[in-house]
Structure 1
Amino acid sequence: MAVYETLLLHTQDDKFYIEARDPGTKEVLVIDRLSQEIILEENGLGIPPGASKPICGIMGIIKLLRGSYLVVITKKTKVGEINGQLIWKVAGTETIPYKRTDLHLTEEQKEDNKVYESMVQYALENNTYYFSTTFDLTHSLQRLYNTSPEFLQMPLFERADQRYVWNGHMLREFTAQPELGKFILPVMVGFISIRIGILNTKRFDYILISRRSCLRAGTRFYMRGLDEQGQAANFVETEQIVQFNGSRASFVQTRGSIPLFWSQRPNLKYKPVPHISESQSHLDAFKRHFDDQVVNYGNQVLINLIDHKGAENRLEKMFAKTVYESGNQMMRYEAFDFHHECRKMRWDRLSILMDKLAKDQQQFGYFWMDANNELLKHQVGVFRTNCMDCLDRTNVVQSMLARRALQDQMQQMGILKQGENLDDHYTAAFESTFKNTWADNADACSKQYAGTGALKTDFTRTGKRTKFGLLKDGMNSLIRYYMNNFVDGFRQDSTDLLLGNYVVEEGEGVTRPSPIRKSKDAKFMLLPAIAMVAFSMLLISMLIPAAELHLQIAYILFWLAATVICVGLMGVFGIEFIDQPKLSQAKVKSD
């Protein structure tokens, strides 16, 4: 059952009227701004005159200190079509408070509410949201094919995979009333690209979809590993689709944080040392995670791309040990030290990994159905890839696996001749389409998680590692360092607020302390100022000669020592200077 595509929002002093304007309907959704009651009027004849505007969909309702807010989609851009169904990207939203004033709040609550409003706005503006009113974006083609006709008749929200519905929390007041199904729009976060490809004069659609899980979602350093329910941080399902002459083929891969209990909180160091929990049972949560993965995807090849030395080595060994202890016969572990094997820009050595995975990929296969919806092949397993962040190294390997699957699919579908491969068309326009689509996917996932575009995309876009690419990676790494240390606390809180991991209570700041008013220890905040003064005095002592040389040397040594001591203390107490989350991911002493 499709969701209404054309809506008109009428804003009155006491009510919101959301009028369905699709042909053949007169339904109106009425939201009382005072009682917050939501009702459905089937005739829609009693809308009072007043301000109105077209909207593209309802994101949901979120509660802050001021009260409830209605969040609507005001702008959308067309991405393309999948199986003839329109796919849209959210291009603009509006957050409208139920209450017309904030006079019922104290002055401190008013300030706190502005912070919460800015968090919601940031979350809405800085994620990539996609939706369709007629097509279920949260399921792969194979899962949709394997469902019953009754399932396909269910409202989009009811049948959606809740792992990928990012406005699920905001829609909870609507979903309690099944009759509102045509107004309830599931929205996913991730990446969707729908492009035209041409090879051998044959025209086809090349589609890439990355579905980012809303379970254990967050930022790079504040969300790592597993939780007690077995949900992995930064979990993404990526599906590559080819549409040609009515037939469709898809290939699914997954990525996710190393499935153990571990953390890596920022502390001003460029690479904080990962901490592996000693107090939690890794094996139990690990089993829960992969039991779920096997149910959803079948057999698993776990590709681990982290280093086999240094700080990452302990994680690699623990990962391998836990796989062995789990005894799961549907899993195979494949470790590949990406940085060591590809050192000195020898990225051609990735062929070593591809050769090791060739047999698995042949066994797993892919999904393929003809123009008559008859199943020709199905995928029986997935590659589950991770590095430390599941971004840069991961995307490179996933694109190579996707290319190999694509070549086989094109041969089977008749786009490529038997025995012909994609490398024979290295100069064709589609080569650029394929590479840039995967590089764009890397950038989108990286911006959502780490705050910058991905690293190593020069290889994805061109097939070569370049010096310019290294320089660009260096710049992105510096920006990531700044974001991870001084912005990500706010970003994490924004995500948690949007997803309902933290729910604002109306009496917050009066009946209970406000979490966003947590202040940093003043004595630590003096250190940066003292360090700057000491460094300035050091420069002055070096540039302006004193009356006697030994006095100048003494001044230089004193201010140098003061600078070094202050900087050293900042390093020791680095965690006190960073932007930490204040809501559901607030740091606890046990960390």
Structure 2
Amino acid sequence: MGERQQILRHFLLIPFRSTDMMDKADPAQKLYNKMRLWEFPDQYVVEPTDGSSASFLAISRLDGSMSHIDEIPQCNSLRVPKIQTIYGVVGMLKLLAGSYLLMITERECVGSYMGYPIFKVTSLKVFPCDHALKGSPEEQKKMESEFSRLLNVAERTPGLYFSYDVNITLSAQRLHVLGDESKLLPLWRQADPRFLWNNYMMEVLIDNKLDPYLLPVMQGSFNTFQAAIGKDILDVSLIARRCTRRTGTRMWRRGADSDGFVANFVESEQIIQLNGYTASFVQVRGSIPLLWDQIVDLTYKPKFEIVRPDEAPRVAERHFLDLRKKYGNVLAVDLVNTQGGEGRLCEKFGHAVEPIASDDLRYLHFDFHKICGHVHFERLSILYDQIEDFLIKSR
């Protein structure tokens, strides 16, 4: 079933021109990269420890309201705070009768992007600001208890990455073409909202104008390694950015919505750096952009259901218009089988793309399982031969 998950998606290969060394984004106001959290009975106090701020951030444990204070509250035998180091404020979730802070309590440096360190979140903690619950009706308390259990799931969210210095929600090409004014904006304002995992959670901090605390977080993967070609050493980075639109688990979330946004959308980027030059290649994937569902049951292959098939051309057109606007020329490679439910999806997809196909939008079906099976990956050369001219033309 793991392989099935992959081939039910279509892949879009979008080549980016090689560029010379990327201009580095240098926001005017730096993010706090290490802080001390004081947990008092009535409030949390966040203290930047890099010496760049003369004030501290206080968050009420009653209702989550925020304010700046000039000094740490006094401690005594009745007011002994718990103190720990944190590495970022991810944001705040406001629920019916309380607010919940999410903070990074552990991190791991996993490489660099455009010369700046990239960190992986290894521990994310939720801090409740829910003392107001004490006066809430029992039914509301019960509902909040259910929400709190869901927040425990948020603490275990895998694949969260961030940087204090560069916006990893943007591809190398997008970073390169940022205007001078945009480069001076806070990182959260430069971010691509599609890949900003904590977009909603940052709203309270944005309203309170807390730019130095606003840390953009991306969900996906990030890997770097070096390779040698002769005497030359290449720095290779592989980044996958998961889209926050139409999110959901496999099988429970399929296809597109009426605006053309698809489930399981991921932007993958391969970056190669050598002797001061940078080359970037971007590829995106997502669920087939039609209105369809997969009915989850106990069978090995749950059935597909195509919803409102008459709307397929309009939905596909919106999907590809958005891709062309963001990426330029698009080559859509459909890897699904031609038999059974997948075959019906394949046929509908091909028919939906046919009226909008053009020189800058090409659709190609490649029956991956039939041609390559489980072991004959060398047969991918057949696919390469079919798409080579489009990739060369689109450089």
Shared fold (TM-score, shorter chain, > 0.5):
yes
Q: Contact between 2:58 and 2:68, CA under 8 Å: does it hold in 1?
A: yes
CA distance in 2, matches of 1:33, 1:82: 37
Give 1:218 shift. Answer: 1.0
Question: 1:295 Cα shift?
Answer: 1.1
The equivalent residue for 1:84 is: 115
Q: CA RMSD in A?
A: 2.1
Question: Following superposition of structure 1 onto structure 2, how do residues 141-152 of structure 1 map, counting pairs within 5 Å?
Answer: 141-152=172-183
Q: What is the DSSP-based 3-state SS (H/G/I as helix, E as strand, rest coil) of the residue aligned with 2:287?
A: coil
Distance 1:279 1:332 in 2: 22
Q: How does 1:368-387 map to 2 (within 5 A)?
A: none
Structure (1/2) with the larger helix percentage: 1
Name which of 24, 40, 51 aligns with 1:12.
40
Show the counterpart of 1:52.
Answer: 83
Change (3 A) 1:327 1:246: closer
Tell me which residue corresponds to 1:165: 196
Distance, in Å, in 2 between the alignment partners of 1:139 and 1:118 is 33
CA distance in 2 between counterparts of 1:36 and 1:102 reads 12
Instruction: Determine if the alignment matches structure 1 residue 239 to structure 2 residue 248.
Output: no
1:138 matches 2:169: yes
Cα shift at 1:55? 0.3
**C-alpha distance in structure 2 between counterparts of 1:115 and 1:34, whole Å:** 19
Shift of 1:40: 3.6
Question: SS state of the match for residue 171, structure 1?
Answer: helix
Distance across 1 between alignment mates of 2:347 and 2:42: 61
**Which residue of 330, 340, 363 maps to 2:360?**
330
AA aligned to 2:200 is H
Deviation track 1:250-308 (CA, whole Å, cap 9, x = no partner) reads 11111011011111020211111111112662222222221111111000000000011
**1:86-235 correspondence runs (5 A):** 86-100=117-131, 102-104=133-135, 110=141, 112-177=143-208, 179-235=209-265
Aligned AA (1:143): R
CA separation in 2, counterparts of 1:98 and 1:344?
52
Counterpart check, 1:253 vs 2:279 = no
TM-score of the pair, normalised by structure 1: 0.58
Q: CA deviation at 1:3?
A: 1.5
Q: Contact conserved, 2:255 with 2:288, CA < 8 A, in 1?
A: yes
Pairwise CA distance, 1:321: 0.7
Equivalent positions of 1:512-527 (< 5 A) are none
Does the 8 Å CA contact 2:105/2:125 hold for their aligned counterparts?
A: yes
Determine whether 1:309 maps to 2:339.
yes
2:21 aligned residue: none
Unaligned residue ranges in structure 2 (runs of 5+): 1-26, 76-80
Separation of aligned partners in 1, 2:255 and 2:358: 20
Letter in 1 for 2:86: I
In structure 2, what is the Cα distance between the partners aligned to 1:343 and 1:132? 40
Distance 1:345 1:249, change over 3 A: closer
Q: Distance in 1 between matches of 2:130 and 2:245?
A: 31
Is the Cα contact below 8 Å between 1:213 and 1:235 reproduced in 2?
yes
Summarize the Cα distance change of 1:327–1:106 in structure 2 as closer, same or farther, 3 Å threshold: same
* SS of 1:58 mapped into structure 2: strand
Hey, what does 2:93 align to over in structure 1? 62
If asked which structure has higher relative contact order (CA below 8 Å, sep 6+), I would say: 2
Judging changes above 3 Å, is the alpha-carbon distance between structure 1 residues 295 and 348 closer, same or farther for their aligned structure 2 residues?
same
Greater mean alpha carbon deviation, residues 94-103 or residues 240-249:
94-103
- Residue 157 of structure 1 aligns to a residue in which SS? helix
Matched residue of 1:170: which SS? helix
Q: Distance in 1 between matches of 2:143 and 2:65?
A: 26
CA distance in 2, matches of 1:191, 1:170: 21
1:274 aligns with 2:300: no
Aligned with 1:166: secondary structure?
Answer: coil
Deviation at 1:51, TM superposition (A): 2.8
* Cα deviation, residue 14, structure 1: 2.4
Distance 2:42 2:214 in 1: 22
Q: Distance in 2 between matches of 1:254 and 1:284?
A: 21
The TM-score with structure 2 as length reference comes to 0.86
Cα distance in 2 between the residues matched to 1:344 and 1:52: 53
Aligned to 1:32: 60
How far 1:162 moved relative to its partner? 0.4
Q: Following TM superposition, by how much is the alpha carbon of 1:345 offset from its aligned partner in structure 2, in angstroms?
A: 3.8
Displacement of 1:362: 1.8
Residues 163 and 280 of structure 1, relative CA distance in 2, 3 Å threshold: farther
Q: Deviations over 1:338-382 (max 9, x none)?
A: 1111247433322111110111222233xxxxxxxxxxxxxxxxx
Deviation at 1:169, TM superposition (A): 1.1
How is 1:570-581 mapped onto 2 (pairs within 5 angstroms)?
none
> 1:128: how far off?
0.9
Query: Which residue does the alignment assign to 2:24?
Result: none
Partner of 2:377: 347
The 1:324/1:244 distance shift into structure 2, 3 A limit, reads: same
Partners of 2:101 and 2:129 within 8 A in 1 = yes
Classify the secondary structure of the residue corresponding to 2:236.
Answer: strand
Q: Distance in 2 between matches of 1:126 and 1:183?
A: 21
